[in-house]
Amino acid sequence: MSDAIQPQPPLTSLTSPAPASTIAIDDFAKCDIRIGLVTEAKPVPNSKKLIQLTVDFGTEIGYRTILTGLLCYYPDTSIFQGKKFLFLVNLAPRKMAGIESQGMFLAPDGAERPTLIEVPTDAVIGARLH
């Protein structure tokens, strides 16, 4: 069996699934979504799915380690470096492959693979989504 990263099959449908359930605006307000600048991106050793991102959120939050399961879709992790994306920063930390992830990288489904939503370069890192 090869250790090479195997491509994932394309997503079968882009039709929007029914919403899970409705939430109150107060529930949404609990989600702290911020702009972060990826300063480093590398595959997690001994994982075929995980990418370890080092993300700068500015002075209020600082740097965090965030893991994302996109390696099978984006094996060239350098495409993340130096770019700004959206992250959920108040998610409870979770250990994966021995590394604590301190947030969640946000990427919607796409036709072939999850879509990377880059934030414009002039956006302020650490800015909160309202």
Mean pLDDT of 49-70: 94
Q: Which range of residues forms the domain containing residue 58?
A: 33-130
User: Each residue of 4-54: pLDDT tens digit?
Assistant: 555 555 555 556 667 778 889 998 889 999 999 999 999 999 999 999 999
Q: Does a structural domain hold residue 8?
A: no
47 belongs to a structural domain: yes
Do residues 66 and 103 touch, judged by C-beta distance below 8 A?
yes
- As for how many domains the chain has, the answer is 1
**Structural domain includes residue 106:** yes
Q: What is the pTM of this model?
A: 0.82
Q: Domain holding 62: CATH number?
A: 2.40.50.140
